[in-house]
């Protein structure tokens, strides 16, 4: 189970890296946003985050459910924002505010993860 937890943790961090990396690289762009990467990272984050909580609980650890709830809420907003951004991009509508919202909230989620002790 511990190996599964470490694999999930690595995937969780990679999902985060995809979101924030894409956001930082394209932060000053006005068009051509890679919303598909943001969406893929957001899906990875939500799935692996939920799985990590399940595995940690199965290993007998007591997660901080208040922190997990806040992180999940932020991650879901990032996911929904990414979905809307992909749809808007396909329809030729505005993407930039959604792109920045998803990227900025991903950074906030990192801060919650690191600073909430």
> The domain containing residue 35 runs over which residues?
2-115
Backbone angles phi, psi at 36, to 5 degrees: -65, -40
For the chain, give the number of residues: 117
pLDDT of 14 reads: 97
User: pLDDT tens digits, residue range 75-99?
Assistant: 999 999 999 999 999 999 999 999 9
- Tell me how many domains the chain contains: 1
Give the residue from 106, 85, 103, 115 showing the smallest Cα distance to 24. Answer: 103
Please list the ranges in the chain whose pLDDT falls under 70: none
8-state DSSP, 29:
-
**What percent of the chain is predicted at pLDDT more than 90?**
94
8 in Cβ contact with 48 (< 8 Å): yes
């Amino acid at each position: 189970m511990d190996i599964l937890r470490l694999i999930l943790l690595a995937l969780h961090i990679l999902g985060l890296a995809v979101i924030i990396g894409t956001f930082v690289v394209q932060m000053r762009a006005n068009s051509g946003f890679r919303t598909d990467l943001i969406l893929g990272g957001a899906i990875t984050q939500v799935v692996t985050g939920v799985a990590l909580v399940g595995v940690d609980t199965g290993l007998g650890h007591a997660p901080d459910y208040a922190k997990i709830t806040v992180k999940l809420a932020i991650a879901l907003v990032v996911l929904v924002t990414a979905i809307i951004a992909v749809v808007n991009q396909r329809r030729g509508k505005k993407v930039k505010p959604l792109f920045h919202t998803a990227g900025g909230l991903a950074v906030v989620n990192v801060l919650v993860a690191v600073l909430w002790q």
